[in-house]
Amino acid sequence: MLEVDNVEKYYDSVQILYGVYLKAEEGQVTGILGSNGCGKSTLLKIIFGTLRSKYKLIKIDGNVLHKKMYTTGIAKYLPQHNFIPDFLSIRKALKLYGVTETDFKAFFVEEDFDLTQKFGKLSGGQRRIVEVFLTLKTPSRIILLDEPFSHIAPIQIERIKELIQLQKQHKIILITDHFYREITEVSDAIYLIKNGSSKRVQQLTDLEDYKYISEGSL
Ligand SMILES: Nc1ncnc2c1ncn2[C@@H]1O[C@H](COP(=O)(O)OP(=O)(O)OP(=O)(O)O)[C@@H](O)[C@H]1O
């Protein structure tokens, strides 16, 4: 289990997060929703350890994590924007992520990607779906996904959702996206970031009550 508590973040003198708490269980997908600029990406970066915060407490299976999470190899993080360098081939990326070529080919049957293809030569959407696939299939136990559904075609979104369901069995998956219907469908637990704090969403109508979505849009 991953527990994140008391996250406070300032950018210069502006406070963005005011004591965020969330709990993410193994075998479950934990969704994070919130309006533009509320601090979702900031929170994921703080959890991963690539962004400093004023306070935070991270526990894994009840033990306080003293190191930056990314240095431990326990987690992989999909940032909001493309991150695999242009010069890297698909084959090299598979090796780096510990994903087999067989698994890759089994998922991308239709696309029939050439494994020597470099990321710089893929389309924006192709690049994104390969990045999402690698992040989900990597053997790391904790997976942090920032906007995995953005920039990919609807049919691919369905495939990614199926992959998430398969991969979550042995993993702790934290996910955020503005495709809130996808998030609510794929998540076992949901938090909403609002006014710098996290609120556990117990039922979907809470999203209306917290004015994340307009009344009647469910
Ligand atoms: N490096 C930075 N310096 C100063 N302010 C920043 C920095 N990065 C983010 N912010 C601000 O912090 C707030 C939270 O940003 P963040 O990217 O975490 O939001 P978000 O919820 O992921 O937004 P979105 O859904 O639009 O991607 C925003 O107001 C943003 O302008």
46-63 pLDDT, tens digit each = 999 999 999 999 999 999
HSE of 157 in the Cβ direction (CA atoms, 13 Å)? 16
Q: Tell me: domain 2-209, CATH 3.40.50.300, correct?
A: yes
Among protein residues, the one whose CA lies closest to atom 25 of ligand 1: 36
Residue pLDDT, tens place only, 33-50: 999 999 999 999 999 999
- State the Cα–Cα distance between residues 91 and 114, nearest whole angstrom: 9
Residue pLDDT, tens place only, 172-215: 999 999 999 999 999 999 999 999 999 999 999 999 999 999 98
DSSP tag of 54? S
Buried b / exposed e along 10-35 (16+ C-beta atoms within 10 A): eeeeeebbeebebbbeeebbbbbbbe
CB 49 less than 6 A from any atom of ligand 1: no
Among protein residues, the one whose CA lies closest to atom 16 of ligand 1: 39
CB 33 less than 6 A from any atom of ligand 1: no
pLDDT bracket for residue 169 (50, 70, 90): very high
For a ligand 1 pocket test, name from 11, 20, 54, 151 the mutation site with the most ligand atoms within 8 angstroms of its C-beta: 11
- State the Cα–Cα distance between residues 48 and 55, nearest whole angstrom: 14
Among protein residues, the one whose CA lies closest to atom 28 of ligand 1: 37
pLDDT (average), residues 27-31: 98
Residue pLDDT, tens place only, 65-124: 999 999 999 999 999 999 999 999 999 999 999 999 999 999 999 998 999 999 999 999
Residue pLDDT, tens place only, 130-141: 999 999 999 999
Among protein residues, the one whose CA lies closest to atom 29 of ligand 1: 37
